[in-house]
């Protein structure tokens, strides 16, 4: 576990457009075409590419400029929350178009409104949200038309960065190899034509919390995975319902920084009107899989109770044992209730904590 690494979600300056255009013009001088093929001598190809700006990360090392990337997870793990958070970070420096096929405008507003004060969260001015207008829905050649509309909107808004939430609404046959392949080729064509960066949000079938996340968890055809430049996923922690971890699965431009030995652990929180993933630590994926024995769970409960008896606050205990504050409070209250009812040492009774149905945004417990 390494908690010393930077936790800020960084973005970087855009690629220099003058350098990119100059390099492209010079590169074309060495290119011959045969039908759909663009051909160069290998040494010319290397020389031309060396004059192009190196890709820079848009968001951590998970998504680089010029990539078609994919973020996927099981349902109700917060991938749309994370995607909006990514968009907000990037929009501080660049225009970005977020196509929201998941939430209605009202649902989106409620997610980003302070429930107590009614104050709306203020996003950067360069962040645009689009949704499919059912009054103008065109089912004939739907996939081609929606891609054309996305292209036109991005050009109109001067957005070179696009997030599409989610894949199912754009490619109805994503589980069929040929259809999925053709759809991804059209996306790649948009990327190359305009130099765009595109993040696709996708689903995964219901998966076991005892198994690590792999490329096989991405729903749909295996061809989809092959087309993406980079892929990362959100997993649910088996030790705490409120915790999520992010794992890199595919990288082309950078390095595997967030692999199974160094996943990013978050807790979903709502601060004011901003629902977001709050960084907690770096960890191994194994620590968040369902493989702890009953004795290990009992030892963890005992440790929490002992720390509480030493006078430590819920927050201090949560930081020490790697759980959310609300989970620590739940364990302690269940232990106290067990002791009050039976008179037996709480540690002997509380060997399993039921976390099912816990609200992600419940009121914070007293420290």
pLDDT value for 364: 39
pLDDT tens-digit series, residues 167-202 = 888 876 666 656 777 888 898 999 999 999 999 999
DSSP strand pairing (68-73 vs 230-236)? parallel
One DSSP character per residue, 234-299 reads: EEE-SS-TTEEEEEEEE-SSS---SSTTSEEEEEEEEETTEEEEEEEEEE-GGGGSS---HHHHHH
d(CA 286, CA 235): 11
Cα-to-chain-centroid distance, residue 213? 14
| Alpha-carbon span 305 to 322, nearest angstrom | 14
Q: Is the pLDDT of residue 7 over 70?
A: no
pLDDT tens per residue across span 218-257: 876 677 888 899 999 999 998 898 999 999 999 998 889 9
C-alpha span between 50 and 27 (Å, rounded)? 10
- In sequence order, which residues have a C-beta less than 8 Å from that of residue 96 and are 6 or more positions away? 87, 90, 126, 127, 128, 159, 161, 162, 163
3-state SS class at 198: strand
Tens of pLDDT along 256-275? 999 999 999 999 999 999 99
Query: For tokens 């302690």, what's the residue?
Result: 332
Nearby residues of 230 by Cβ (< 8 Å), 6 or more positions away: 62, 63, 64, 67, 69, 70, 248, 250, 251, 252, 253
Q: Which CATH architecture is the domain 66-288 placed in?
A: 3-Layer(aba) Sandwich (3.40)
> What distances in angstroms separate CA 62 from CA 153, 257, 267, one per listed residue?
25, 9, 19
3-class SS letters over 85-98: HHHHHHHCCCCEEE
- How many other C-beta atoms lie within 10 A of the C-beta of residue 34? 7
CA-nearest of 320, 326, 238 to 280 is: 320
Among the listed residues 366, 300, 305, the one whose alpha carbon sits nearest the alpha carbon of residue 337: 305
Tell me the per-residue pLDDT of 113-164, one tens digit each, with 9 for 90 and over: 999 999 999 999 999 999 998 888 877 888 889 999 999 999 999 999 999 9
pLDDT-based confidence at residue 359 (cuts at 50, 70, 90): very low
Neighbours of 84 (CB within 10 A): 26
Give the lowest-confidence range in 274-288, 308-322, 330-344: 330-344
Residue 42: phi and psi, rounded to 5, are -60, -45
pLDDT over 90 at 99, yes or no: yes
**When comparing pLDDT for 359 and 110, which is higher?**
110
Q: Where are the domains of the chain?
A: 66-288, 294-349
């Amino acid at each position: 576990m390494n908690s010393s690494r930077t936790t800020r979600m960084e973005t970087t300056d855009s690629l220099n457009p003058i350098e990119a255009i100059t390099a492209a013009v010079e590169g074309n001088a060495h290119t011959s075409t045969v039908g759909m093929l663009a051909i160069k001598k290998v040494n010319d190809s290397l020389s031309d590419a060396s004059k192009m700006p190196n890709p820079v990360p848009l968001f951590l090392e998970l998504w680089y400029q010029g990539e078609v990337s994919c973020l996927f997870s099981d349902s109700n793990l917060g991938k749309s929350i994370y995607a909006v958070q990514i968009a907000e970070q990037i929009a501080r420096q660049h225009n970005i178009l977020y196509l929201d096929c998941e939430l209605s405008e009202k649902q989106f507003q409620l997610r980003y409104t302070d429930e107590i004060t009614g104050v709306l969260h203020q996003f950067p001015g360069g962040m645009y949200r689009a949704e499919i207008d059912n009054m103008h829905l065109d089912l004939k050649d739907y996939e081609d038309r929606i891609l054309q509309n996305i292209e036109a909107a991005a050009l109109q808004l001067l957005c070179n960065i696009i997030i599409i939430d989610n894949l199912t609404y754009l490619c109805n046959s994503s589980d069929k190899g040929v259809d999925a392949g053709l759809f991804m080729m059209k996306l790649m064509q948009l990327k190359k034509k305009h130099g765009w960066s595109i993040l696709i949000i996708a689903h995964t079938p219901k998966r076991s919390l005892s198994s690590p996340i792999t490329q096989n968890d991405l729903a749909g055809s295996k061809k989809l995975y092959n087309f993406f430049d980079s892929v990362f996923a959100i997993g649910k922690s088996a030790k705490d319902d409120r915790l999520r971890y992010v794992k890199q699965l595919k990288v082309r431009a950078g390095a595997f920084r967030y692999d199974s030995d160094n996943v990013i652990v978050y807790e979903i929180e709502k601060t004011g009107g901003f629902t977001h993933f709050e960084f907690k630590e770096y960890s191994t994926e194994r620590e968040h899989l369902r493989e702890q024995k009953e004795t290990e769970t009992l030892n963890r409960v005992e440790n929490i109770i002992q720390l509480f008896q030493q006078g430590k606050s819920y927050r201090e205990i949560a930081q020490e044992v790697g759980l959310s504050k609300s989970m620590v409070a739940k364990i302690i209250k269940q232990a106290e209730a067990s002791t009050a009812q039976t008179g037996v040492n709480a540690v002997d009774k509380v060997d399993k904590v039921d976390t099912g149905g816990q609200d992600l945004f419940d009121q914070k417990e007293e420290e």
